[in-house]
A and B are shown apart, each in its own frame.
Chain A
Amino acid sequence: MSRVFIITGSRKGIGRQLAEYYLSKGDIVAGCSRGKSSIKNSNYMHFELDISDEDMVINMVRAVKKQHGHIDILLNNAGIASMNHILTTPYTSARKIFNTNFFGTFLFTREVSKIMIKQKNGRIVNYSTVAVALKIAGESIYSASKAAIENFTRISAKELSAFGIRVNAVAPTPILTDLIKGIQKDKIDELISQQAIHRLAEFDDISNVVDFFINEKSDFITGQVIYLGGV
């Protein structure tokens, strides 16, 4: 039986690459983004939605369950980044970042867990960032939203473990995607210089950690955050 994934933010960047990667392995993927699908594959279904819209998230998760009968893996990939000083950060921007990064993760975790509870099996991978550990000036809101995800990961791992659901998080270093497009090069260089291994992340670095978390042999691994690059 094919594994069924939900991958948020699957239209571009890492989300799209992960969706294509698992589709190439014969898995079924349901993805979502604010825009139209960029993936053409008979095993892929796409939903256009705002991941902080509760009704839309509920409808998507139930539609995937109805279509495929089960949901095995949730990758809470969707996220937005922002660089700004706290004194010049609009409240609307801060809310938008928390809506997408944290509340989107919360809503998908809550709704998909309802399906996984009945299956008594499921794996959830959330996304943090090395910026949480490095505490880079200019990333206060973005880092705070991801720090929230880290604690949410650890606590939801405890609350869901009795139902056979494992929850972990990967914390990538910068990777060349739209997410860091607007960030100054010297800021990225400063961040990379604080890693034990001084380079940008590549797609394989992230998929390797996701593969480890969702592997059936990792059934004793939950509530963990893995930082890339030696942070």
Chain B
Amino acid sequence: MNIIKDVVFSVLEEIGSEYNNDELKLPTEDTRLFGRNLDSFGVILMVTEVEEKLSNVLGFNISLADDRAMSQKTSPFRNVKTLLDYVEMIINEKKL
């Protein structure tokens, strides 16, 4: 969904500007997140921002808490593509 992509990209651009990170300032679906451009603090900031902005846009609350959040291999936050897929899955589950 474009709406998810817009929100995620805007959050990454904000974080990129705040931390002066060029890869995050110009994100693509291949941009790596946790383990390269974001540490655990960065992931927490990104998750809280994405949750809040998406909840405002969608009109219902979502939580991106996940047991694999801090896993280098399976974290849904390891790159932009996995993040977008994960957010879409959470939203679809919420709509059911």
Contact = CB atoms under 8 A, between A and B. Distances in A.
B45 A110 contact: no
B47 to A, nearest CB: 8
A85 interface: no
Contacts, number: 17
B61 A59 contact: yes
Given A58-B63, A110-B65, A162-B41, A118 B48 contact: yes
B41 A54 contact: no
Given A62-B55, A162-B41, A117 B48 contact: yes
A199 interface: no
Interface string A145-171: 000000000000000001000000000
B55 A114 contact: no
Interface residues of A, number: 10
A202 interface: no
Contacts of B58: none
Interface string A92-130: 000000000000000000100010011000000000000
Given A62-B55, A114-B51, A54 B44 contact: no
A181 to B, nearest CB: 36
Contacts of B41: 162
Contacts of B65: 110
A117 B61 contact: no
A156 B45 CA distance: 16
A62 B48 contact: no
Contacts of A54: 63
A25 B41 CA distance: 35
A62 B61 contact: yes
Nearest to A162: B41
Contacts of A59: 61
B61 A58 contact: yes
17 contacts: A54-B63, A55-B61, A58-B61, A58-B63, A59-B61, A62-B52, A62-B55, A62-B61, A110-B65, A114-B48, A114-B51, A114-B52, A117-B44, A117-B45, A117-B48, A118-B48, A162-B41
Interface of A: 54-55, 58-59, 62, 110, 114, 117-118, 162
Q: What 6 A-B pairs come out closest when comparing CB atoms?
A: A114-B48, A58-B61, A59-B61, A62-B61, A117-B48, A58-B63
